[in-house]
Amino acid sequence: MTTAGEVAAELRKLAEALDKEPEANVVKGSLWFWNGVNKDSFLNLVRLVPRPLKKVYEEGIGASVIATHETDALTIELRIARNSVCQIVEPAKPAVYKCEPLLTDEKEATLAVVQPITATVNQPQSEEWNRPVKSYEDPLDHAHIQE
């Protein structure tokens, strides 16, 4: 694990290099710390980073907690998996759908039901090509497939 002192030493090297030409135009700097699941490391960084600190809580799979300190010259972003610092109090629920009929009962009754067929390809190139193929369309549309 890296210590705060080791990171500070590297940042001092960067600061010294930038101070050699303080008027040079450069892009806005960005530091990004990904803490994975190490809550203690994340909380140490949150405590040590300058203020103000903006917090964002992402939603969904792979959600993170993001703490950001931003100035005109530098953005410092701290990230950690949300489930490492937050407790799930209500688990996700499966979606429930309500769908309107696509066709009226009368229209649906007039449609022909096509039976599935099992077929194999005419000219197998390997064992994988010999596997059954299901078709849910009119077999006459598939002259290249044998039943």
- Specify whether the CB–CB gap between 35 and 85 falls below 8 A: no
Token pair of 59, please?
A: 């939603």
Phi, psi of 63 (to 5 degrees): -60, 145
Sign, CA dihedral 80-86-91-97, equals: negative
**Domain parsing of the chain, residue ranges:** 28-87, 112-146
* pLDDT (tens digit per residue) in 43-66: 999 999 999 999 999 988 889 999
Residue pair 35/49 in contact by the 8 Å Cβ criterion:
no
Is the whole-model pTM more than 0.85? no
pLDDT tens, position by position, 58-114: 988 889 999 999 999 999 999 999 999 998 888 878 888 888 877 777 777 777 666
**How would you classify the pairing of strands 74-81 and 29-34?**
parallel
